[in-house]
Amino acid sequence: MIDLRIRVEPLPIVDPLIVRLRNDADDLGPNDAVLIGTDGARREYDFQGFSLTLHTKDDVALDNDVIMVLPGQTSARRLIRADSQHNTFLITEQCDQLCLMCSQPPKKNHVDLFAELETAASLAPANAYIGLSGGEPLLHKDKLFDMLLWLSKARPDLIFHILSNAQHFDEVDIAKLQEIGVERILWGIPLYAANAQLHDAIVKKAGAYDRLLQSFAILFEAGAAIELRTVVMQQNYWELPALAGFVGTTLSFVERWAIMQLENIGFGRMNWDLSFKDTSLDFGNVARAINIASAGDVPVQLYNFPLCSVPAHYRHLAAASISDWKNRQEPFCIDCSARQRCGGFFEWYDHRKGFRGLGPI
């Protein structure tokens, strides 16, 4: 597991500090700190004439990484890892749903860091791909859209993937979405069933399904790109073919449909015994859903499915979707011929309660 925090010697600051770490002094900007010395795990940087000291493993590359140092804290957050395509900003921990499988259970309080995240994104490497997540980012829609609009002008090369429950889009947002640039954002939006009763029960919010359909219409009118997301659970497993038919007939405009396995953390861990569906033993309804969606020309991908949990006919759809910082492989993966192209497992996966039908390919 890759550590997204770095120990930092405390700084006398009262506001969050965004810093890009540099190994050389060429073309330094106001947010750049240049490396001036190392001593084992200790790295000292010059930041505007002040000393910034970090402690990390010798083999960790930090050149052009962007970190955030918060007042009074002894660890800095690695917001941008320059050598990774798995950089995600946590916009807020607030959410208006309580999904059974949520990996990031919501909190009541919100810490507003839009200005800092905007600066961090502006310092990202060229053509960077940045995820924006929560909680629910659109609970702070105006600030989110303002940040995206500014970045569309300051850094038009950046691409964003935004996870949202799509409960907060309105007709008036169409113009703003188009001004930001619909080609620069892929919206990851969940749909768990083709009927309101089941979807609303899974997200624990009455009226969520109907509001979601309204938002799909708004996003379609705006020309937005959508990655439809469905987590496979015991609760919706038998409804997957019906959902596939609905997607193929009503939501065929989506960029792709991501069928996802459950993540064993947060509410997903709390509800694991009641929700985890072992598709390594029973892939039938997933296969039916894929076949139906494919017949409707809807591109399908499988997320969080180890290759050996998927029948050979469908393995080409299984993407290496688990972010590098939380990805691992099990001991039995060592001799597998598909190891290099497999997405592996979440760091917090527990094989004692996980897939039972795995084996080397």
Strand 42-47 relative to strand 32-39, pairing: antiparallel
Q: Which residues contact 26 (CB under 8 A, 6 or more apart)?
A: none
pLDDT tens for residues 20-56? 999 999 989 999 999 999 998 999 999 999 999 999 9
Residue indicated by tokens 């429950």: 165
DSSP helix/strand/coil, 282: coil
Q: Which residues contact 86 (CB under 8 A, 6 or more apart)?
A: 131, 323, 324, 325
Q: State residue 265's pLDDT score.
A: 96
Identify the H or E element spanning 87: strand 87-90
Calpha distance 214→222 (Å, rounded) = 13
pLDDT tens for residues 57-107? 988 999 999 999 999 899 999 999 999 999 999 999 999 999 999 999 999
Residue 310 has pLDDT above 90, yes or no: yes
The answer to whether the Cα torsion of 310, 318, 321, 146 is positive or negative is: negative
Calpha distance 36→45 (Å, rounded) = 5
Calpha distance 309→101 (Å, rounded) = 20
Q: State residue 58's pLDDT score.
A: 85
pLDDT tens for residues 156-192? 999 999 999 999 999 999 999 999 999 999 999 999 9
Domains of the chain with bracketed CATH: 1-80 (no CATH), 81-353 (3.20.20.70)
Calpha distance 96→165 (Å, rounded) = 9
Q: State residue 335's pLDDT score.
A: 85
Q: State residue 3's pLDDT score.
A: 85
The answer to whether the Cα torsion of 273, 279, 283, 288 is positive or negative is: positive
Q: State residue 337's pLDDT score.
A: 87
pLDDT tens for residues 184-211? 999 999 999 999 999 999 999 999 999 9
- Among residues of the chain, what percentage have pLDDT more than 70? 100
